Structure 1
Amino acid sequence: MEDQLNCIYRVINFIEKNYDEPISVKDLEDVSNYSYRNIQRIFKYSCGETIGSFQQRLKVENAYKLILYSKESLTSIGLEVGFANIASFSKAFKQHFGISPKAAKLSREMLLSEPDLVPITSDILLIPEIVYLQPMEIYYQSIQTDYNNEEIEWLWKRLMQNEFPVSGTEYFGVIADEPLIKPEINCRYDACASIQAKNKKLPSKAIFGGKYARFTHTGGYETIDETYTKIYSRWIFDSGLEFSHTPIIEKYEKHIDTTDNQEEQLTYILLPLK
């Protein structure tokens, strides 16, 4: 079972890196070490969708991120995420989200004002640091979640059952999907450590590599939504910067296991920039 889970992690990571390119049967067999028929079956059972559907979803969801956070034309965005032309891009986008790319671009600020998502009203303007970060290898476990704190805490407890060096290990959370644009807010969250566990071989992948806007959140994780609200409401559209469609990353500078006082916890929220 663990071999199958690590196989799924490898396939997901490979598709995320290459979603905008044609992926062959041989590519999938090489990365998974399973036959194409078996990896399709395992993937559908584990992820609830086919490999083809997953790749198509990544295309349109990454396109939506670019519509929200960049100044690129719709034609450029469609080509960038792997569609052959604007017609095929528009058709796939509308099938997935129920609106056209043009309508999504015109209503991007309205999206952020939906009451069940992130409110856009805040009196506080957060100013981030702009940082350049080198790629680094991390070791991780994943969960599908609506960012329920209890589910994320459960994932971290499961990850921390592994034996990591007390000194030198850094901890990260990778928000693989954009919760604002998912049809249902059920996104993948990766709990990550910078050093491989001593007692278990965890799957690995690279994160970072580029420019980020780094915001600081102090206090426990249960209040981090307040910081995200301030980011989305007062800064994200007026910054003059363009965002990348790569994942948002949280770095737990003072992790829950390193301090008993939640008020002393420190989290960096890293938004990728172009």
Structure 2
Amino acid sequence: MIMNSIFYQKKIEQALEYAEYNIGSDLSLQTISKIAGFSPYHFHRIFHSVTGKSLHQYILERRLNNCASKLLYEDCDITRIALDFGFSSSSSFARSFKKHFGCTPTQYKKTKDRKYPVPFSEIVLQQISFDPELEKHFNEIVLADLRTICIGVTGLSEVWENPEINRAYEQIFTWLKENKKFTSDTKICGITMDTPEVQNLSSCRYYACATAESYIHDEHLAYRVFQTSGNYICCKINRCIKDFAACFFKHMDYLYGFYMVSHKFSPDNRPFVEFYERMPDGDIYIHFCVPVKNSKK
């Protein structure tokens, strides 16, 4: 029974990966069930048992959250967003959006209580000025899509303590050691699929990962390729310092509140990535990588 449960989870992961890559395309039950290798009838039941949601509900929420992220950070046309994410019209998008978020897309764009400022926001936000010490902590990199073995967990914490995430990494480390897959090229990383300003931390999806050069079949771990290809701004923080959480949010405030604007970047709608680096003295540094694109402003 345990093996069946793991098998189903891996099949659902294949379906979720396909959905992320094709979020604006046909994601009907017939289409997705073929990807997972089940009949539509059985897939519907298995999907609900694994995710707690129907396929329709899950896809609708993913599309709406993607749209909300764009409304949050980009000065873009609402109708264009609706069509890009698979809605048949701007009116059907607006009805679904209001039901999910409690306001229209236009209202969300103008009045959403953002933590971080954007050039077109009408909300009065804290003013952050140039800080030479913080400025040198950031660098720009380009990532390719990340091929990984991974374990998915739902729920993040502002204090960076999540027993499920810790267990996921322990399981991955054990697998790497037992299968002698830990090479000099292996990177340990975490991937956050959702924007915390759109979704509650408790519902944000996180994947504990180790990079893999090619497909790996295993009964207990999922193999997944994440759409991370593009530009990122990164900062490196010592995970072992006492005030780690406060330090992290200070850096993020500066990144969104000053660095992006001054360097003509805006947030992009791709996964957030963190890479883990263990130092010779035992300290662990986390390289936080935020997806960005060139700003039109």
Structure 2 length as normaliser, TM-score? 0.78
Residue 189 (structure 2) aligned to one of 163, 167, 172: 172
What is the rounded CA distance, in whole Å, between the counterparts of 1:245 and 1:79 in structure 2?
A: 16
What is the rounded CA distance, in whole Å, between the counterparts of 1:81 and 1:211 in structure 2?
A: 22
- Work out whether 1:111 is the aligned partner of 2:111: no
- Higher-Rg structure is 2
Q: Secondary structure at the match of 2:266?
A: coil
- Work out whether 1:213 is the aligned partner of 2:233: yes
Q: Is the 8 A contact 2:270 2:291 kept in 1?
A: yes
- Shift of residue 197 of structure 1? 7.0
Q: Is the 8 A contact 2:193 2:272 kept in 1?
A: yes
Residue 161 (structure 2) aligned to one of 144, 149, 162: 149
User: Which letter does structure 2 place at the counterpart of 1:217?
Assistant: I
| Deviation by residue 1:39-92 (Cα, 9 ceiling, x = unmatched) | 111111111111111111011101111112222222222222222222122111
Instruction: Tell me the residue number matched to 2:246.
Output: 226
Instruction: Tell me the residue number matched to 2:202.
Output: 185
Q: Secondary structure at the match of 2:199?
A: coil
Residue 92 (structure 1) aligned to one of 74, 91, 96: 96
- Shift of residue 122 of structure 1? 7.6
Structure 1 length as normaliser, TM-score? 0.84
Q: Which runs of 5+ in 2 are unaligned?
A: 117-124
Instruction: Tell me the residue number matched to 2:277.
Output: 253
Mark the CA change 1:122 to 1:222 in structure 2 (over 3 Å): closer, same or farther.
farther
User: Which letter does structure 1 place at the counterpart of 2:182?
Assistant: V
Mark the CA change 1:174 to 1:183 in structure 2 (over 3 Å): closer, same or farther.
closer
Mark the CA change 1:60 to 1:237 in structure 2 (over 3 Å): closer, same or farther.
farther
Q: Is the 8 A contact 1:162 1:198 kept in 2?
A: no
What is the rounded CA distance, in whole Å, between the counterparts of 2:257 and 2:86 in structure 1?
A: 26
Instruction: Tell me the residue number matched to 1:82.
Output: 86
- Shift of residue 29 of structure 1? 2.7
- Shift of residue 146 of structure 1? 3.1
- Shift of residue 222 of structure 1? 8.2
Q: Is the 8 A contact 2:237 2:248 kept in 1?
A: no
- Shift of residue 111 of structure 1? 3.1
What is the rounded CA distance, in whole Å, between the counterparts of 1:124 and 1:143 in structure 2?
A: 37
What is the rounded CA distance, in whole Å, between the counterparts of 1:222 and 1:103 in structure 2?
A: 40
Q: Secondary structure at the match of 2:148?
A: strand
Where do 4+ consecutive residues of structure 1 move more than 6 Å?
119-124, 196-199
What is the rounded CA distance, in whole Å, between the counterparts of 1:50 and 1:124 in structure 2?
A: 47
- Shift of residue 224 of structure 1? 5.0
Q: Secondary structure at the match of 2:94?
A: helix
- 1:191-202 equivalences under 5 Å are 191-195=208-212, 202=221
| Deviation by residue 1:181-227 (Cα, 9 ceiling, x = unmatched) | 11573211100011377975632222321111112222239855334
Q: Which runs of 5+ in 1 are unaligned?
A: 114-118
Mark the CA change 1:221 to 1:157 in structure 2 (over 3 Å): closer, same or farther.
farther
Q: Is the 8 A contact 1:149 1:222 kept in 2?
A: no
* Aligned-residue RMSD, C-alpha: 2.8
Percent of aligned positions that are identical: 19
| Deviation by residue 1:159-200 (Cα, 9 ceiling, x = unmatched) | 223134333221110101122211573211100011377975
- Shift of residue 237 of structure 1? 4.5
